[in-house]
Structure 1
Amino acid sequence: MSKSLEEVNQSVSTQNKTSVFRRILAFFGPAYLISVGYMDPGNWATDIAGGSQFGYALLWVLLMSNIMALLLQSFSARLGIVTQRDLAQASRETYSKPINYILYFLAEIAIAACDLAEVLGMAIGLNLLFGIPLIEGVLITVLDTFLLLFLINKGIRKMEAFIIALVTIIGISFIFEMIFAQPEMGKVIYGLIPSMPNETALYIAIGIIGATVMPHNLYLHSSLVQTRKFDRSKAGIKQAIKYNFIDSTIALNLAFFVNAAILILAAATFYKNGMFEVAEIQDAHRFLEPLLGSKWAPILFAVALIAAGQSSTITGTLAGQIIMEGYLNLRIQPWVRRIITRLIAIVPAVIVISVFGESVTGKLLILSQVILSLQLGFAIIPLIHFVSDKSKMKGFHISVVTQIAAWIIASIIVSLNAKLVFDEIKGWLESSNNPMVLWFTVVPLAIGFLILLLYIVFQPFVSKSKIDIQNHSPHSLKLQFSKSGNYNKKNIAVSVDFSTADEIALNNAFELGGLEANYTLIHVVETVGAIMYGENIEDHETLIDETLLLEYEKMLSEKGFKVTTKLGFGKPNKVIPAIINSGEFDVLVMGTHGHTGLNDLIFGTTVDNVRHKIKIPLFIVKI
């Protein structure tokens, strides 16, 4: 199985730090990338709608959502730290292939809904600050893809610093907004007491939960924590869990402050002045200056919105890559993956805005958050199962009390969503001119998803994980080496990828060097984690790849070959030339699957790039 975010896996070392503060600081970062998902433009829409319609009454929903988020994100971090798998990989090991395909499809819908909110938020921010039309702003957001590629090539620490800078901008902006708004603190505190004014408030509340506890963040966090390399002893793992919990607590409380500030701002300005229908971000921006008497209020609002959209789009595209690699074991070029993710969001946004006008953006944003909330159960239920599993968690499973709390949270979320779906379908059936169409389409689909939800609740209790330890067994290689021949190569490098290409590549290498040559087997770990974090990454795939390389070495050594191994991290077209040029090799042997054209564009090419970067002959073996 592939490593999660292989490009950056274990690339940040937390060892050999001289003080407790430096050790904690080394673990800090992943939760801040997570926190931006909790303050993205989708949150703004639900918070503004909640504050303008119901004043401070739904503040308690934000607080409850934040507590839920903290618990669930700590589970996600624990899963990644202990098992060295992300949530998608763990699901792939637990559920059958058809179920995983459905879960993958639902996760992609969640990513698309999240990205839709980010695209719209960025476009609205650009429109408010610079007057750029919404559709043009939506198209400009494609450029986010290239910013992410630039940042990811600079390393995870620089990406984390960029995200933290954006979060700081958002936080400072809302500190000033609170100063301008001067909310009534008594009513703020009273808003923390649970209440539900009406059915509309329930819809907004579910949207707030969907906007706060985001399913893609659970996949992302379980991967990002694997970017820290630490002592894998029991004490080391316990310390990593502790420091990541501190990281999550600080980051998510900052996100809670931002969300609460948006809702309080809406309550203190719009609700207070009887403007109960302000749900659009554009309307909120327009009314801030006359209501608060400061020209800086709308400017800071727009700047914070752009920062929120920009920061959350980066983490959303990373989550998309994790989900695709984890569920499907499919790795495509990162820029292709990000373009696909962005287009899935941009196309419907452009169509809807073109057909219905710019006034629908607020409704689109809230709808995107409700979709996220509906998908939550399919992410949190497997997560709770995994972190409760004693064998999977190697003694670091959550306690019975924590399990009860987790299942209560899952029940609340699923129950609220079930009520929302039931009420919506009931309304459609009552107002439809042809209800039979709904009875044969929407109703069976809803029942199907209910059955799926029940299946993922009970399936792990009755069956064990089907752990896919390795994707290719070295012992299945059929070596055709003949001990007679004219061997003229002494130091031979062979690129291996644990596929059928290895057998042909090795056989051809042996024909060049025989038993007398020195062979170096090179494999590159190429997940997002490894590209961003390099050799400091420590996750499931790295361990598997190390194990497979050692098995190759052992098996070939037993046959009389002189073999060493070299594990690289990052993009093969960069890492392989670096390894070759730093050693003394006579030839590099590489197997290629021979795909061309569109496949090259999607999956990337390694051979052509390597050929032009190395100083020795390249022997290409086509499968």
Structure 2
Amino acid sequence: MADKTVVLKSPEKGWRRSGMEPSLAESHRSLGIPRRGSWFRKLLAFMGPGYLVAVGYMDPGNWATGIAGGSMFGYTLLSVVLLSNLMAMVLQALAGKLGIVTGRDLAQACRDHYSKPVSFVLWLLCELAIAACDLAELIGTAIALNLLFGIPMLWGVILTAFDVLIVLLLQNKGFRYLEALVITLIGTIGLCFLIELVWAQPVVSDVLGGFVPSAEIIQNPEMLYIAVGILGATVMPHNLYLHSSIVQTRSFDTSDAGKKEAIRFAAIDSSVALFMALFINAAILIVAGAVFHTSGHTDIAEIGDAYHLLSPLLGGAAASILFGVALLASGQNSTLTGTLAGQIVMEGFLNIRMPGWLRRLVTRLIAVIPAVIVTAVSGEQGATDLLILSQVILSLQLSFAVIPLVKFTGDKAKMGRFANRPWLKILSWSIAFVIAVLNFYLLYQTVNNWF
């Protein structure tokens, strides 16, 4: 389908196009915001998009790095988990602001700013990243089904492909139903790990000490590699596209005062949700440190190994079951938001409109086909290797989403009075630079290890 957007003679200031149809048109401005009432009532109306974004920060791709970091180095890398989430809070707040102020998601903004060839390349890279993320979530869910119910990996991957139907059903009922399911699954993951933490009985003073940055992280090459892996696996590129779109499901006042209020509530929503993600990511590492590192099992890097060792080391079968349930909820949650991100990216970059069921089917097939082939040929080990590869692909694509976001939100021609202030420009560009350098390092080290 060709790009039918007309470039008007007097486009909106700072953009090449105007009057674009919103992505997720069926949900756009579908949820009312009370014009009057208490501050808390308004906040509740805005709460939701942040939790859909937060699931990307606790997907199965993060589990392997957290388990490896905790089992090898105890609590030392907790400072890296904290830093990753603080960086994520800044970037997601910027993504929300872009959507609220301009009425564009990040994909549409890229298409409006860059030439067609550049936009097409950015779209291809983003689709690759979404497929890689979807791949990680498919495999993570399949591993959970295998561990909990003994379902073979191949059948687990195929079964997981059908959860796209849940997204269709809930979105047709209303966006709030989708948000409610996601929040419920996040609560399930959090509860499972809270119980695991109580059983693991970590030394609180040691845990708190882990949140203080240590020079050892930079001095130890192996520790630095795991640390960069944690950073690389935490900030997900598709979350920036997703957040800039789904904040527009709220029918907020479009005056400057209304936008200012919406930006503030959206930032609170995403920050609170990402704090929950911080708790879960930290809990994974703490449990691994308290259970595996202290018992001398310092070589645990795979999810399956962690699952099988938790029960004997903690002295109860429920420990492994809770771990498996949390993994299943994590994988399922991430697939729900991944399919939405796929729709947003295709509509935003290419202005192609498909029926929702067809778009989600295409997104899922891109990830399912390689997962089925590799799992059928190589089994569980091949699936694990594919999980690692998916994280490398995500790391490679991240800067192509972060740099345009920082650029657009700092541009007065595009954002007007809402453009980033000097201190926020410095902070956001610093984050973009750190992410680019660390992800390049992660890519280099991973490829070097392969060859």
TM-score computed with the length of structure 2 as normaliser:
0.92
Counterpart of 1:365 in structure 2 is 387
**Within the alignment, does 1:59 sit opposite 2:81 as a pair?**
no
- Asked whether the 8 Å contact 1:206–1:370 carries over to 2, the reply is no
Q: 1:167 aligns with which of 165, 186, 195?
A: 186
**Within the alignment, does 1:231 sit opposite 2:245 as a pair?**
no
- Asked whether the 8 Å contact 2:61–2:136 carries over to 1, the reply is yes
One-letter identity of the residue aligned with 1:364: L
- Asked whether the 8 Å contact 2:73–2:223 carries over to 1, the reply is yes
**Within the alignment, does 1:138 sit opposite 2:160 as a pair?**
no
Counterpart of 1:378 in structure 2 is 400
Q: 2:295 aligns with which of 240, 259, 273?
A: 273
Q: 2:169 aligns with which of 150, 159, 172?
A: 150
- Describe the superposition over 1:568-618 as per-residue Cα deviations: whole angstroms up to 9, x where unpaired: xxxxxxxxxxxxxxxxxxxxxxxxxxxxxxxxxxxxxxxxxxxxxxxxxxx
One-letter identity of the residue aligned with 2:369: V
Taking the TM superposition and a 5 Å limit, the aligned residue runs for 1:389-404 are 389-404=411-426
One-letter identity of the residue aligned with 1:198: N
**Higher-helix-fraction structure:** 2
Q: Distance in 2 between matches of 1:153 and 1:33?
A: 17
Q: Distance in 1 between matches of 2:222 and 2:390?
A: 17
Which 4+ stretches in 1 moved above 6 angstroms?
A: none
Q: Distance in 2 between matches of 1:311 and 1:421?
A: 27
One-letter identity of the residue aligned with 1:172: L
- Describe the superposition over 1:197-251 as per-residue Cα deviations: whole angstroms up to 9, x where unpaired: 6333333223222321110000000000001111112211111111111111110
> What displacement does 1:367 show?
2.8
- Asked whether the 8 Å contact 1:2–1:325 carries over to 2, the reply is no
Q: 2:108 aligns with which of 89, 99, 104?
A: 89
- Mean Cα deviation higher: 124-133 or 87-96: 124-133
* Greater relative contact order structure (CA < 8 Å, 6+ sep): 2
State the structure with more CA Rg. Answer: 1
Counterpart of 1:253 in structure 2 is 275
> What displacement does 1:425 show?
5.7
**Within the alignment, does 1:76 sit opposite 2:98 as a pair?**
no
Q: Distance in 2 between matches of 1:261 and 1:164?
A: 18
One-letter identity of the residue aligned with 1:292: L
Counterpart of 1:32 in structure 2 is 51
Counterpart of 1:312 in structure 2 is 334
- Describe the superposition over 1:518-571 as per-residue Cα deviations: whole angstroms up to 9, x where unpaired: xxxxxxxxxxxxxxxxxxxxxxxxxxxxxxxxxxxxxxxxxxxxxxxxxxxxxx
- Asked whether the 8 Å contact 2:22–2:28 carries over to 1, the reply is yes
Count of equivalent residues: 429
Segments of structure 2 that go 5 or more residues without pairing to the other structure are 1-19
Structure 1 153/110 Cα, relative in aligned 2: closer, same or farther at 3 Å?
same
Match of 2:44, SS state, is helix
One-letter identity of the residue aligned with 1:174: F
Structure 1 427/253 Cα, relative in aligned 2: closer, same or farther at 3 Å?
closer
> What displacement does 1:407 show?
0.9
Match of 2:418, SS state, is coil
> What displacement does 1:370 show?
2.6
- Asked whether the 8 Å contact 1:2–1:326 carries over to 2, the reply is no
Q: Distance in 2 between matches of 1:201 and 1:107?
A: 29
Counterpart of 2:146 in structure 1 is 127
Q: Distance in 2 between matches of 1:423 and 1:62?
A: 20
Q: RMSD between aligned alpha carbons? A: 1.5
Q: Distance in 2 between matches of 1:425 and 1:20?
A: 51
- Mean Cα deviation higher: 24-33 or 355-364: 355-364
Q: 2:375 aligns with which of 353, 370, 373?
A: 353
One-letter identity of the residue aligned with 1:267: G
- Asked whether the 8 Å contact 2:225–2:445 carries over to 1, the reply is no
One-letter identity of the residue aligned with 1:102: V
**Within the alignment, does 1:211 sit opposite 2:233 as a pair?**
yes
Counterpart of 1:102 in structure 2 is 121
Identity %: 57
- Asked whether the 8 Å contact 1:46–1:366 carries over to 2, the reply is no
> What displacement does 1:274 show?
1.5
Counterpart of 2:359 in structure 1 is 337
- Describe the superposition over 1:377-419 as per-residue Cα deviations: whole angstroms up to 9, x where unpaired: 0000000011001121121011111110111111111111223
One-letter identity of the residue aligned with 2:123: Y
Structure 1 382/40 Cα, relative in aligned 2: closer, same or farther at 3 Å?
same
> What displacement does 1:101 show?
0.8
> What displacement does 1:276 show?
1.6
TM-score computed with the length of structure 1 as normaliser:
0.67
Counterpart of 1:221 in structure 2 is 243
Q: 2:285 aligns with which of 260, 263, 279?
A: 263
One-letter identity of the residue aligned with 1:25: L
**Within the alignment, does 1:111 sit opposite 2:130 as a pair?**
yes
> What displacement does 1:49 show?
1.5
Match of 1:8, SS state, is coil
Counterpart of 2:4 in structure 1 is none
Structure 1 207/368 Cα, relative in aligned 2: closer, same or farther at 3 Å?
farther
